[in-house]
Structure 1
Amino acid sequence: MTTTRPRDLLLAFVVAGVVGNLLVLLTYGTLPSFPAPAGATLGVLGLAEAAAGWVLKGRVDRRPGSKPVEPLVAARAVLVAKASALGGALVAGLWAGLLLYVAPRAGSVTAAASDTVAAVVGLVCALVLVAGALWLEHCCRAPDDPEDPDAVR
């Protein structure tokens, strides 16, 4: 399994941002207002994935006092991390699309001002999810075997 490439996440972010901006452009007048903590759940998930990464890193590195990690547990964690990174990039793109629409109108439209706060919170929390997922994926990498003389360093 390969690591998540930043360009794939950036592509997902940009495509979702363009689509989100077009959807908001066409339907903003009919949408209800966005609550400020709407995207906070993603931030909590990102922090949980980062914490899981710290725990798994100790187990993968075989630190004293920690149980070795089962290969299937590490594979599942990587699967969750890859899905969360892509999902977080997509949702961050949607929040960015909303932000690009409402931020210029925040001074003149009251609803746009409150939606700007929600979009910023959602964007930041989605990026926290991406960062936590990438950290979890990084922590699940197998350590280099120091006894292998043919290992590339």
Structure 2
Amino acid sequence: MSFTQPGQLVAAGLVGVVVVYLLARVGYSELPTLPVFAGATLLLIAVVEVVLALVLRPRVLRKPGTEPVESLTAARAVALAKASSLAGAIMAGCWLGLLGYLVPMLEVVAAARQDTVTAIIGLVSAAALVGAGLWLEYVLRNPDDPDEPDDAE
């Protein structure tokens, strides 16, 4: 399994931007007002991942008095980290796409003001999830592996 590349996150985010912007243009008027904390669930997941990283870090580094992380546990946590950073990038793109649609309408449509607050909360939560996922992935790197891959291999 390879580490998450920035290009993968940017591509996923761009897909989210385009899809949600186009969907908002077509059907925003049919939607009810979005709940203010609709995107805050992502922040909760980010907090869980930060706690998981804090718990696993000493074990991965084999600090005295800690039990080493089992391979399967580490693999599951890395899969969670990769999935979270990718999902966070997609959702950040979705919230950006919605913001791109809403910001020009702030003075015209009353619902756009509240939905803009919702989108900003969602965007911040999605960014936190990307950061937490990338950090968890970083924490789970094998300390015995070199940081840079050899070009000769």
SS at match of 1:48: helix
Q: TM-score, length-normalised on structure 2?
A: 0.92
- Report how far residue 145 of structure 1 moved: 6.5
Matching residue of 1:53: 53
In structure 2, distance between residues paired with 1:127 and 1:3: 18
In structure 2, distance between residues paired with 1:139 and 1:107: 45
1:68 aligns with 2:63: no
Letter in 2 for 1:33: T
In structure 1, distance between residues paired with 2:78 and 2:101: 35
Q: TM-score, length-normalised on structure 1?
A: 0.92
Q: Deviations over 1:94-121 (max 9, x none)?
A: 1111011111211221100000000000
SS at match of 1:37: coil
Query: Counterparts in 2 of 1:106-125, with a 5 A limit?
Result: 106-125=106-125
SS at match of 2:63: coil
Matching residue of 1:18: 18
In structure 2, distance between residues paired with 1:29 and 1:131: 33
SS at match of 1:41: helix
Letter in 2 for 1:118: T
SS at match of 2:2: coil
- Report how far residue 55 of structure 1 moved: 1.3
Structure 1: stretches of 5+ with no match in the other structure: none
Letter in 2 for 1:111: A
1:102 aligns with 2:119: no
In structure 1, distance between residues paired with 2:102 and 2:138: 35
Matching residue of 1:81: 81
In structure 2, distance between residues paired with 1:21 and 1:63: 48
Letter in 2 for 1:83: A
- Report how far residue 19 of structure 1 moved: 0.8
Matching residue of 1:36: 36
Structure 2: stretches of 5+ with no match in the other structure: none
Identity %: 49
Matching residue of 2:129: 129
